Amino acid sequence: MADFHGRVILLNLWATWCPPRREEMPSLDRLNAKRGGPDFEVVALSIDRDPDLVKPFYQDFGIRTLKHYVDPTTKVSDTLRAPGVPTTLLIDQEGREIGRAMEPAAWDGPQVEALIDGALLYPSVRDSK
């Protein structure tokens, strides 16, 4: 996660065998296409044991803006105490978890965008004190 320091991250732990991925991954891709940039990124981290499954999945579902991240050892999900997939965390610029969802969601909706806006605003509010 050190590579993402200074950015707000929506980290989604997923697997190709997880049924909700069919709706959730395109939603995450749309969010990243709309909001991804120097201050925010959607990081979709597959826990598939075979990393070669991710690229064909992305192609089959038209995923275009999400990078391929794979953790076949599940060390990241273990460290984050994720009970299963999907698990999604909102992480602030300092690497702190500020939100968690353990069920599928429509990630490109206005409520999620409001959470992202709040997370992006938070450092300026904190630093202005």
Instruction: Using alpha carbons, list the distances in angstroms from residue 31 to 43, 71, 73, 95.
Output: 11, 22, 27, 20
CATH code: domain of residue 84: 3.40.30.10
The pTM of this model reads 0.90
pLDDT recorded at residue 2: 66
* Domain with 53 in it: 2-127
124 pLDDT band, cuts 50/70/90, is low
SS3 letters across 22-66: HHHHHHHHHHHHHHCCCCEEEEEEECCCCHHHHHHHHHHCCCCCC
84 pLDDT band, cuts 50/70/90, is confident
pLDDT reading at 44 higher than 90: yes
pLDDT reading at 97 higher than 90: yes
Mean pLDDT check: name the lowest of 36-40, 74-78, 88-92.
Answer: 74-78
Domain tally for the chain? 1
Mean pLDDT across the chain, nearest whole number? 91
* Cβ pair 102, 87 in contact under 8 A: yes
